[in-house]
Amino acid sequence: MATFKEFRNNIKPNWCPGCGDFSIQAAIQRAAAAVGLEPENLAVISGIGCSGRISGYINAYGLHGIHGRALPIAQGVKLANRDLTVIASGGDGDGFAIGMGHTVHAIRRNINITYIVMDNQIYGLTKGQTSPRSGEGFKTKSTPEGSVESTLSPLEIALASGATFVAQSFSSDLKQLTSLIEQGIQHEGFSLINVFSPCVTFNKVNTYDWFKENIINLETVPDYDPSNRAMAMSKLMETGSMITGLIYQNKEKKSYENMVHGFKEEPLAHQSLALQKSEFDNLVAEFV
User: For 151-178, how does the pLDDT look when each residue is reduced to its tens digit (9 = 90+)?
Assistant: 999 999 999 999 999 999 999 999 999 9
Whether 8 and 22 have beta carbons less than 8 Å apart is answered as: no
- Domain for residue 283, yes or no? no
Q: Which of 154, 86, 150 is nearest to 117 (CA)?
A: 154
Alpha carbons 56 and 25: distance in angstroms, whole number: 11
Q: Which of 94, 122, 133, 146 is nearest to 198 (CA)?
A: 122
What is the domain-level CATH number for residue 27? 3.40.50.970
Does position 233 have pLDDT exceeding 90, yes or no? yes
Reduced to 3 states (helix: H, G, I; strand: E, B; else coil), residue 108 is: helix
What's the number of domains the chain is made of? 1
Q: What long-range pairs does 278-285 form, CB within 8 A, spacing at least 24?
A: none
- Domain for residue 13, yes or no? yes
Percent of the chain with pLDDT over 70: 100
For residue 177, the surrounding DSSP H or E stretch is helix 174-186
The whole-number pLDDT of residue 264 equals 85
The range of the structural domain enclosing residue 210 comes to: 4-262
Ramachandran quadrant class, 189 (left: phi over 0; alpha: psi -120 to 50; beta: rest): left
Does position 88 have pLDDT exceeding 90, yes or no? yes
Q: Is the whole model's pTM more than 0.85, yes or no?
A: yes
Inter-axis angle of helices 174-186 and 21-34, to 10 degrees? 50
Does position 231 have pLDDT exceeding 90, yes or no? yes
- Domain for residue 222, yes or no? yes
The whole-number pLDDT of residue 268 equals 81
For residue 74, the surrounding DSSP H or E stretch is helix 70-80
- Domain for residue 33, yes or no? yes
Does position 272 have pLDDT exceeding 90, yes or no? no
- Domain for residue 276, yes or no? no
- Domain for residue 249, yes or no? yes
The residue-averaged pLDDT of 110-136 equals 94
Indicate the pLDDT class of residue 274, thresholds 50, 70 and 90: confident
The whole-number pLDDT of residue 146 equals 93
The whole-number pLDDT of residue 13 equals 94
Tens digit of pLDDT for each residue in 116-126?
999 999 999 88
- Domain for residue 105, yes or no? yes
- Domain for residue 284, yes or no? no
